[in-house]
Amino acid sequence: MSQIHVTTKINGDETEFLCEPEDTLLDVLRDRLGLTGAKEGCGTGDCGACSVTVDDRLVCSCLMLGAEAEGREIATIEGMADGEVLHPLQRKFIEHAALQCGICTPGILVAAKSLLENNPDPSEEEARYWLAGNLCRCTGYDKIIRAVMDAAAEMRGEIANDPDDSLRRAS
């Protein structure tokens, strides 16, 4: 079979790649483009570790073919921070110790960002429902939900963020 040429936008950057017809978007992101934040946890769309957004819609990249990215806009965990400054969700996950092994964390962060873009003031029940497709075996979910709710409040301006205390992304 011949490879398929795909032109897309990933994390705001125009990107072109070649892929096999059977390559998943997750395969392309990790193996061809070096974007290793999304992880393969199950390969069946049940765990959420491979979550990305495609045209602002949350998807499991293990269930989407790489060729389907043609002309679409994809956002991954690698595009979440603003340069060296972490996104409020990333900071709150650190502050609330809402991460441990790191397998699920990128997918949960992408899903939580999608939630807050769709609903900037979710109830705890809405946040739990939205994140139900993301499985975590290490932290339990309370710390994750606390971090998401705290980030939502900060992003709405209800909690002041001290820029001098802002966590920076490790170099």
**Domain residue ranges of the chain, discontinuous segments joined by +:** 4-79, 88-165
Q: Which helix (H) or strand (E) holds 147?
A: helix 142-155
The pTM of this model reads 0.91
> Is residue 58's pLDDT more than 70?
yes
Map tokens 């975590």 to a residue.
136
Looking at residue 161, its pLDDT comes to 62
Residue 168 pLDDT grade (very low, low, confident, very high; cuts 50, 70, 90)? very low
Domain 4-79 in CATH 3.10.20.30:
yes
64 near 24, Cβ under 8 Å? yes
The tens digit of pLDDT for each residue in 67-105 reads 999 999 999 999 999 999 999 999 999 999 999 899 999
Q: Supply the CATH classification number for the domain 88-165.
A: 1.10.150.120
> Is residue 167's pLDDT more than 70?
no
The CA-CA-CA angle for residues 1, 51, 137, to 5°, reads 120
What's the rounded Cα separation, in Å, for the pair 33 and 114?
A: 23
> Is residue 31's pLDDT more than 60?
yes
Mean pLDDT of 13-27: 98
Instruction: Of 105, 4, 95, 92, give the one whose Cα is nearest residue 47.
Output: 105
